A and B are shown apart, each in its own frame.
Chain A
């Protein structure tokens, strides 16, 4: 197998040798290497993606250990980007990794998207301003952005196409914090509230005002779903499903489907929440 390192030789069969070379030549930018972002970095490193740009200002804390790829008792207190870069290099010593340890800021968003073929937006929900700068910069650079929140036993994959609707068209201005703009934002990002989650914690979580319950299985699934679509996009096999359509899944409901968020209404969301409450009380 010419040119394919032994470490990635077993990929051939799921991808072709030509596609494997394309993976090795591609650059993935990951903003936020915590739960989903860290696990996406891990999976993509093992697929043989050759270049990464990693941005995250945080250090690992103990409460990350339940779901984050680089989080161990031993790495608590260390910078997430440094640990993740080390782990990628241990998988692929030839990987080229750029680290931005101050995370993305409105000033550095351009620089971040500048060299990447695709953006993974795993920025925390309490930073809608940062997300807005990143997505705007990605759109100007004409690259796809993958946003992949996981909570409870569920996850979704939200993809912004450079040719699709803009952040403002889709979300309005969630950073103003009103209930109306928050609903507009959340119905796109996590379009289905699972029956076992109450609406209040869902909204507070999306507003970044409290933590959503997050743990390993749905984070792994979100990472697998994201990594799959990143791989299929960069090898040129297919375009992802993009906004206003969103992929949604839940491991309790045992369902994965494509949801058209343009057809989503507040009434429907509240009805689902009521069904969930009845089911819980039954």
Chain B
């Protein structure tokens, strides 16, 4: 169903499956991406490539050499550059019609209320090691009170977990509890071994106990794929033929390309353990 508008445009191949209504909905959608690390950066880029019309991006950091192993825009020539400014340039080079708001100070006590006003979806991808659970809970509660979706996608080895909280469903808190527990214990929940690669899981936990979160770029492609699909499902109208309900808490999608597995799980099965890394 190719509309006149998309022929020859960057959305031409997308429009073979996305009708005008679906593309129009994405163009009208407002999405916040909090944190432009290994998870947030590639998701912001993928959302722009899908034709999302309004993005707000926030990150206080600059690129460091160890970011290069996984972060979409991290290259040697940009070490020391502000992440928010670098991504702003990339996103505008994908879709010049994109309406973009840039927050180079990151998400703060002062700006999070304004940043999450009148939005459809928030991607919470703030740094796992430095942003504390109390602030995450405040942000999630604000998003929920505004009637928007929020997700907190994480990568772990070759795996990803993508919890989404619907404004009408379960809050993000049970997943935030898992993240807090993982940070305090310095390890991932052992119950994850039933789904993801158990060898990678135990190697990761050993490193996390010493204060570093190992990562590999493979999982960034995976998290972008799963997260952006769930965002699309939440945004496009039910009349779109291929649309299904987004997977929302207490259900979430877990995937591991090294197993390989991609499926829904119930967060209550992991309640005893911890969260993930970026």
Contacts and interface: CB of A to CB of B under 8 A. Distances in A.
B75 interface: yes
A84 B66 CA distance: 21
Interface residues of B, number: 67
Contact of A15 (B17, B216, B241): B216
B225 A11 contact: no
B239 to A, nearest CB: 12
Contacts of B66: 6-7, 9-10
Contact of B204 (A14, A74, A212): A14
Interface in A1-21: 6-15
Interface stretch (B43-51, B139-147, B163-171): B43-51
A255 B226 CA distance: 11
Interface stretch (B8-16, B107-115, B127-135): B8-16
A9 B13 contact: no
A256 to B, nearest CB: 4
Interface in B175-218: 200, 203-204, 206-207, 212-218
A228 B159 CA distance: 10
A18 to B, nearest CB: 13
B224 A11 contact: no
B10 A14 contact: no
A14 B13 contact: no
B14 A213 contact: yes
A91 B75 contact: yes
Interface stretch (B28-36, B257-265, B267-275): B257-265
B54 interface: no
Given A72-B94, A74-B93, A254 B214 contact: no
A280 B241 contact: yes
B65 interface: yes
A218 B221 CA distance: 9
B119 interface: no
B185 to A, nearest CB: 16
Main secondary structure on A side of the interface with B: helix
B226 A251 contact: yes
A248 to B, nearest CB: 10
Contact of A73 (B75, B96, B214, B221): B96
Chain A interface size band reads 35 or more
Nearest to B222: A224
Contacts of B224: 216-217, 220
A168 to B, nearest CB: 28
A13 to B, nearest CB: 2
A65 interface: yes
A11 B13 contact: no
B49 A47 contact: no
A12 B65 CA distance: 15
B220 interface: yes
Contacts of A66: 10-14, 49-51
B264 A254 contact: yes
Interface in A153-178: 153
Interface string A38-74: 0100111011100000000000001111110000111
Interface of B: 8-18, 42, 46, 49-51, 65-66, 68-70, 74-77, 90, 93-96, 157-158, 200, 203-204, 206-207, 212-222, 224-226, 228-229, 232, 241-242, 244, 247, 253, 255, 257-258, 260-264
* Nearest 4 CB-CB pairings of A with B: A13-B214, A224-B221, A196-B242, A213-B16
